[in-house]
A and B are shown apart, each in its own frame.
Chain A
Amino acid sequence: MLSKKQSEGILQKALDLGADFAELYFEDREDISVNYSETVDNVAHIRLYGVGVYLISGGRGVYVYTNELGERALHDAVVRAAQLLGTSGGNAGVRPLTLRVSLNPCPVATYPGAVGLEQKIALLREAHLAAKAVTPSLRSIQLAYFDRDQRVTIFNSEGVFAEDRRVTSRVRFSPLVSNEAGAISYFSDYCAPAGFETFSSGRHIARMECVIRDMEGSLSAREAPSSRIPVILEGGSCTGTFFHEACGHQLETTELLRGGMFWDRRGEKIATEKVTLIDDGTMSGMYGSSRFDDEGMPRQKNVLIEKGILRSFLVDRLGGVRLNLPRSGSGRRQDYAHAPGARMSNTYLAPGTDDDDEIIRDTKEGLYVTALGGGTGGREFSLMATVAYWIKNGKIDHRVKGAMLLGRGDETMKKIDRVGKTFVTEENGGSFCGAESGFCATTTSGPRMRISEMVVGGKGGTR
């Protein structure tokens, strides 16, 4: 990696070549992965090492990256970037690079490098034994352990010098459950923005056991009927993921620039008054949090929707320039091989005032979703329910499977008629969201809520 002085020289070169703004994003990252089925399948050590050079001129941007980190190679990268940008000369000066300080919301007790592979393998061995004890319907389970120690250094021509060290730990369970009713397999993660202390509580085991039992339960569940019915989303990731897919991406500058449905509707009512939606990258101990965003700006809490009124967007530097919007500390990227883009971090629905149990009792007939398997956002969104129950006369009646929740964000959010009081964070610690700037760690949270009518797709005929 280049020194601060060398980096200053490279940034100045970029401005001399006509860029309005220049940034260097250095990344040095070490991951360990262990794959385990009946035994240790393999162990891998991973080293990511490279730099991204970002130049902006007017509303145009160029991103060049390489894993050749010598000063000469970087100089050539900047020259290439300027050529691509089509600029020639400039006379701006780089402001003195000053180290920025910001609170780390995710302190680490035990760094991955301080823990031997034997302990990491023992973790998986213990999980494997616990899995086999859950049910005889478990045919096999693949487990994987991942830890990551990422060092990021950002320099930019506005004088920002930001350093961050981000550690995450994760286990992945991929059970295969089958019985006379059928077979099913999907993966689930347990993760935290922390070191090996993540696993000291044993919550990852409890989570895995719950997933296996849910999978077994789905085999004998009835097929969900196609219907338009009230849908209750359990507090935690169900509620948060709904907003993530229904409107979250549409509030990021990448989508706004592509003619997203919410541009520019600030001040307009886009949801019921029960909806206050927040994205906050400062939340302590949350998977989507960090000291800075990937453009060196301190993270912040962004109120996106307040009592149904659209208030703000998630904005990165280039998106902000093009749309004339202030940045929101949301410039994020998967790694140095991706240009930053505005992305969600920890997205949650603020608690409401409705009684959580009354939400179910007050529903004559509908669907109660307690786990989602993923989804897609856009003008239309979709969410796959992996654990869902049919409600009849205000009570949970039977388990259903194969329910696909569909809708349009701008329509469905106007049908949220109940929001519970109890705030629940994402039960498995977090997940990954994929978009143009790569896969970023996120969480989705919130209280239990009800949508008065939603399209549900399924194979169980029509209700």
Chain B
Amino acid sequence: MIQLDRFDQTFSRLQTGVDAAELNAERIDETSLSIEGGEIRHCKSFSQTKLYVRATAGRTGMVYTEKLDESPEELVRRAAENARFSTALDPEPMRRDGSCVLVRPHEMASVDEMKQFGARAEKIALSLERVATVIDCTVSDRARENCVLNSYGFHAGCSSGYVQAELTIAAKRKGEPAIGTARISGNAISSLEAETLVKMAVNDAALYDGGGLKPQAFASGSYDAVLTGRVMRNILMTAWMGLSKQNMVRGGSVFQSTSGERIGSDAFNIINTPTHSLLGQSWQIDSEGTECKETVLVDHGRLVTPLTTLSSAKGASTGSAGRVDQMTGNVPIRLTTVPANLFIVPDANGDARTLVQQMGTGLLVTYSLDLFHSVNVTSGEYSIPCGGVWYQNGEPIGTVALATMAGNVRDLWGAIERVGADLDFDEFYFKTYCIGSPSALVRGVTIGC
């Protein structure tokens, strides 16, 4: 539990010259096991408390500390001192109303339960004729407590947790093995099924190279393509930043902030939500204490609302304030727009195979590389290394590697004819949000090879 009393006391009697102060505290407890041969091969376990303090003295300054015995008064003093140097016109807004405490029950898994689940998944996988080896089997349990407390008397808190299992297998081939990866998560380990995890990983490997087809040469050009959910998620893992109001205002997004702007086809819908039935991850309140509610961002291809913070929304935040900055090993301390569980809405039926039949002739893009450098959010331009399986009249005829998809995200989303029902999620590297997408049939993608 995060001890808030001493901050409460400090905020009730702020130092002279300090107008307001706020604490955003986060505590994470996690255990992660990597299983090999039914035993724990490698394990990580931690308990970490992070304290972000901001203070307003005309303007806003910030401090972050992991040194838990630092006094709240000293933290506020340092933040206020940093505020003195800021020349921003307005102080950062802080919530004054909407206090809430949200608890999403989480049944923590014991180490034995996690080990047994991983061992079972490994055993099932290795019992299959198609599976050569299990490269990695990791089971993790994460509990998170987040709270925001400020000198206006505002207090918001949430606690949640999830169990997650990841499996990577190598499918048997004559030459190089095909790799398949799957991930499932839920509130409790009892909600996870090892058979489902293995099936997803095996299907992923089979999709990767069409079951072991030989390379197929083809000329660069414009082709119809089915992009698997993984490929769509890879693109969205960067492209979502175009839906940030902060970026739009700065001129750093290909999209404008005008509601109603067309950014995709009628089959293209995006929702941001704190929870999802396919996920154990939940993000109920953001780093400003705003409750995150399910929000339609894109409806039948038209922008409804961007993701906003208190500052970018001038008070009417969508609960999208987080602390994820560019990945550099620096502590992400600034309040930046982040999604919660953001996904492209699936159709009621169909998956990649169904879409391939509808496509007929074209490329099933099964993998892509380079998540963060290959999509430019400002221009919308992308150039993405990829590969997959070439289909002729619905039949797979060969694999494609070292190819490049290139174009503009607005055009790509605008050319989506249909999406599947096979929604799946990836977790962001820093475990601060999830991105989901089903497979998508896209007409006229520029592919070079």
Which chain A residues have a beta carbon within 8 Å of chain B's beta carbons?
A: 28, 31, 33-35, 39-50, 59-68, 80-81, 83-86, 117-118, 121, 139-140, 142, 146, 172, 176, 178, 182-187, 189, 225-226, 258-259, 318, 334-335, 337, 339, 373-376, 378-382, 384, 402-404, 406-408, 432, 434, 438-441, 455, 457-459, 461-462
Q: Are B383 and A67 in contact (CB under 8 A)?
A: no
Kindly provide the distance from the CB of A260 to the nearest chain B CB, expressed in whole angstroms. Answer: 11
B416 nearest CB across to chain A (Å): 19
Asked if B43 contacts A404 (CB within 8 A), the reply is: no
A66 in contact with B47 (CB, 8 Å): yes
Q: Is there a chain A Cβ closer than 8 Å to B120's Cβ? A: no
Which residues of B are found within 8 Å of A140, using beta-carbon distances? 250-251
Q: Which residues of A contact B402 (CB under 8 A)?
A: 380, 406-408, 455
What are some 27 contacts across the A-B interface (CB < 8 A)?
A: A39-B87, A43-B85, A62-B40, A62-B44, A64-B44, A68-B47, A84-B45, A117-B85, A139-B251, A140-B251, A184-B376, A185-B377, A185-B379, A225-B220, A226-B448, A334-B329, A374-B370, A375-B373, A380-B401, A382-B370, A382-B385, A432-B328, A439-B328, A457-B385, A457-B403, A457-B448, A461-B220
| B residues adjacent to A (C-beta < 8 A) | 31, 33, 39-49, 60-68, 70, 78-79, 82-83, 85-89, 111, 133, 135-136, 170, 176-177, 219-221, 250-252, 326-331, 333-334, 369-374, 376-379, 381, 383-385, 387, 401-404, 406-407, 429, 446, 448-449
Residue in contact with B385 in the complex, picked from A43, A339, A404, CB distance below 8 Å: A404
Taking a contact as CB atoms under 8 Å apart, the answer to whether A42 and B60 are in contact is: yes
B449, A226: Cβ atoms under 8 Å?
Answer: yes
Q: Check A185–B383 contact: CB distance below 8 A.
A: no
The answer for the CA separation of A438 and B376 in the assembled complex, in Å, is 24
Docked complex Cα distance between A34 and B88 (Å): 12
Identify B330's interface contact among A31, A318, A403, A461, CB under 8 A: A31
Is A376 within 8 A of B88, CB to CB? no
When the two chains form their complex, are residues A176 and B85 in contact, meaning their CB atoms are under 8 A apart? Answer: no
Contact B67 A44 (CB under 8 A): no
Q: Once the chains bind, are B406 and A457 in contact (CB under 8 Å)?
A: yes
A182 to B135, CA, bound (A): 45
* A44 surroundings in chain B (CB, below 8 A): 61-64, 82, 333-334
> When A81-B45, A226-B449, A457-B404 are in contact, do A86 and B40 touch as well, CB less than 8 Å?
yes
How many whole Å from A105's CB to the nearest CB in chain B? 20
CA distance A366 to B330 in the complex (A): 38
Q: A44-B82, A440-B329, A457-B406 are in contact. Are A258 and B64 (CB under 8 A)?
A: no
Q: Are B250 and A176 in contact (CB under 8 A)?
A: yes
Closest to B387 in A: A380
Residues of A within 8 A of B33 (CB): 84
Pick from A187, A226, A339: contact of B44, CB below 8 A.
A339
New A-B pairs, 16, CB < 8 Å, besides A67-B48, A406-B403, A455-B449: A43-B83, A43-B85, A45-B82, A46-B330, A46-B333, A47-B64, A48-B331, A60-B42, A63-B42, A117-B82, A226-B404, A375-B370, A382-B370, A382-B385, A402-B383, A432-B327
In the docked arrangement, what's the CA distance between A185 and B33, Å? 40
CB closest residue in chain A, given B330: A146
- Tell me, rounded to whole Å, the shortest Cβ–Cβ distance linking B339 to chain A: 20
What is the minimal beta-carbon distance from B144 to any residue of chain A, in angstroms?
15
Cα distance, A330 to B334, chains bound together (Å): 32
> Measured between C-beta atoms, what is the minimum distance from A319 to chain B in Å?
11
Residues of A within 8 A of B385 (CB): 376, 380, 382, 404, 406, 457
Indicate whether A187 sits within 8 Å of B326 (C-beta atoms), given known contacts A62-B45, A258-B136.
yes
- The smallest C-beta distance from A261 to any residue of chain B, in angstroms, reads 9
Docked Cα-Cα span, A184 to B383, in Å, equals: 14
User: Does the CB pair B383–A65 fall under 8 Å?
Assistant: no
CB pair B86 A457 closer than 8 Å: no
Cα A403 to Cα B379 with chains together (Å): 16
Residues of chain B with a CB closer than 8 A to A142's CB: 250
Rounded to whole angstroms, the CA-CA distance of A2 and B384 in the bound complex is 49
Residues from chain B with Cβ under 8 Å of A318 in the complex? 42
Neighbouring A residues of B67 by C-beta, 8 Å: 28, 47, 49, 67
Cβ-defined contact, A42 with B448, below 8 A: no
Q: How far is the CA of A47 from the CA of B70 in the complex (A)?
A: 10
A35 and B65 contact, CB distance less than 8 A: no
Among B60, B404, B446, the most chain A Cβ lie within 10 Å of the Cβ of B404
Contacts A407-B402, A457-B403, A457-B404 given; does A382 touch B86 at CB 8 Å:
no
Q: How far is the CA of A256 from the CA of B130 in the complex (A)?
A: 23
Instruction: List residues of chain A with CB within 8 A of the CB of B63.
Output: 44-47
B378 touches A185 (CB 8 A): yes
- Taken together as a complex, chains A and B put the C-alpha atoms of A139 and B41 apart, in Å, by 52
Q: Which residues of B contact A184 (CB under 8 A)?
A: 376, 378-379
If the complex has contacts A41-B88, A457-B449, are A80 and B45 also in contact, measured as CB distance less than 8 A?
yes
Please, which residues of chain A bring their CB within 8 A of the CB of B384? 404
Contact check, B62 vs A35: say whether CB atoms are below 8 A apart.
no
CA distance A59 to B377 in the complex (A): 44
CB distance from B357 to the nearest CB of A (A): 28
Q: Given the complex, which residues of B lie within 8 Å of A39, measured CB to CB?
A: 86-89
A66 to B46 Cα, complex, angstroms? 6
B379 to chain A, nearest CB (A): 5
**Complexed CA–CA distance, A53 and B329 (Å):** 21
Assess whether B404 is in contact with A458, with CB atoms less than 8 Å apart.
yes
Q: CA–CA, A85 to B41, complex, Å?
A: 8
**Beta-carbon contact of B370 and A384 below 8 Å:** yes
Q: For residue B383, which residues in chain A have a CB less than 8 angstroms away from its CB?
A: 384, 402-404, 457-459
**CA of A139 to CA of B378, assembled, Å:** 12
